Amino acid sequence: MTKANTDLTRRSVLGALGLGVLVSGCASTAPSAYYSIDAADVGGLRGRSSRVQVLVAAPRALKALDTSYIAVVEKGPVYSYFPKTAWADTLPNVVQLKLVETLQNTGRLRGVGLPGDGLLIDYQLQTEIRAFELRVGGGNRGVVEISARVVNDRNGRTVATKVFRAETPSGSNSVDKAVEAMNASADRVFTELAAWTLQNV
């Protein structure tokens, strides 16, 4: 994870429903630091092995989160972003790749991949990013919430659905601490999501 000592400032604001546009000039300068998140360490995860192959579809997200900017959420919710920093890719792409890595790390599936990888798919893991941000007010905390659905690729039927959520205090509103807290929350969400996926494929 790249380090930067950039404090939180109002970068831009979106409407309460996340349907607004970035304030003019938001992307006028290139980020000086890029951040990523870690795949969950699930090598010791208990559960049965499966011979199925799983496709991890591209996560859906509001425009407020379908971006490379690192989000901060105030009451409303009102979205703003850390200046001069960004995720290593758009957030949905980062989450998708880390979900693939997490499921691969279990060692319990015959195959896990992205669309276009050429797998003979048995199941799809479809997700929606509902929250992936630093929440401020009432204690700064990294919040990650992802809804997931396992779909039988052969008949299109939904096998199971569940919402996963975790919050981790950041102790600060610096981008370093914010990303560290989001990473900790994501680790918990990815671990629980991986175990649940193995139970339903």
Q: What does the pLDDT profile of the chain (201 residues) look like in tens digits?
A: 443 334 443 433 333 223 233 332 344 478 899 999 999 988 776 666 678 999 999 999 999 999 999 999 988 789 999 999 999 999 999 999 999 999 999 988 999 999 888 788 999 999 999 999 999 988 899 999 999 999 999 999 999 999 999 999 999 999 999 999 999 999 999 999 999 999 999
Token pair for 91: 């957030």
pTM for the model: 0.84
Predicted pLDDT at 1:
46
Q: Are 158 and 151 in contact (CB under 8 A)?
A: yes
CATH numbers and ranges of domains, the chain: 53-199 (3.40.50.10610)
What CA–CA distances, in Å, run from 187 to 36, 167, 199?
12, 11, 19
Predicted pLDDT at 76:
75
Predicted pLDDT at 47:
64
The span from the CA of 82 to the CA of 6, in Å, is 8
Q: Are 125 and 54 in contact (CB under 8 A)?
A: yes
The span from the CA of 7 to the CA of 72, in Å, is 12
Pairing state between β 123-135 and 141-152: antiparallel
Predicted pLDDT at 3:
38
pLDDT digit string (tens) for 60-87?
999 999 999 999 998 878 999 999 999 9
What CA–CA distances, in Å, run from 151 to 54, 65, 136, 155?
10, 24, 35, 8
The span from the CA of 175 to the CA of 201, in Å, is 37
Token pair for 159: 């096998």
Backbone angles phi, psi at 169, to 5 degrees: -60, 140
Predicted pLDDT at 133:
97
Q: Which long-range contacts (CB under 8 A, 24 or more apart) does 111-115 make?
A: 111/53, 111/54, 112/53, 112/54, 112/56, 113/53, 113/54, 113/55, 113/56, 114/55, 114/56, 115/55, 115/57, 115/58
- CA proximity to 88, closest of 69, 60, 65: 69
Predicted pLDDT at 48:
64
